[in-house]
């Protein structure tokens, strides 16, 4: 197998692993962004994600950052 074909096959497998990792992480209520990138870079991490238990509750969403502290510090300028 030529090196160009091997790279192409690996990239196709990595994209598929990333997509499967994203959907599996979503179904298990895990961080989809992290698991998409992790499974894209290291496709065997799909096994780890598959073995993780499903969370009972989704993690709380973080709101926008509170900029009141930064605005208070501009008074000394």
pLDDT 10s digits, 15-28: 999 999 999 999 99
Asked if 73 and 51 count as a contact pair (C-beta separation under 8 A), the reply is no
- Do 25 and 36 form a contact (C-beta atoms < 8 A)? yes
Do 24 and 46 meet the contact criterion of CB atoms below 8 Å apart? yes
Contact 39, 46 (CB under 8 A): yes
φ, ψ of residue 4 to 5 degrees: the values are -65, -40
Residue whose C-alpha is closest to residue 40's, from 13, 14, 20: 14
Q: Where are the domains of the chain?
A: 1-52
pLDDT tens for each residue of 30-77: 999 999 999 999 999 999 999 999 888 766 677 676 666 665 666 565
């Amino acid at each position: 197998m030529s090196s160009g074909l091997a790279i192409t096959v690996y990239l196709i497998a990595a994209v598929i692993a990333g997509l499967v990792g994203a959907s599996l992480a979503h179904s298990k209520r895990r961080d989809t962004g992290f698991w998409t990138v992790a499974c894209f870079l290291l496709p065997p991490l799909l096994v780890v994600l598959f073995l993780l238990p499903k969370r009972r509750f989704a993690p709380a969403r973080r709101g926008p950052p509170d900029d009141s502290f930064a605005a208070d510090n501009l008074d000394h300028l």
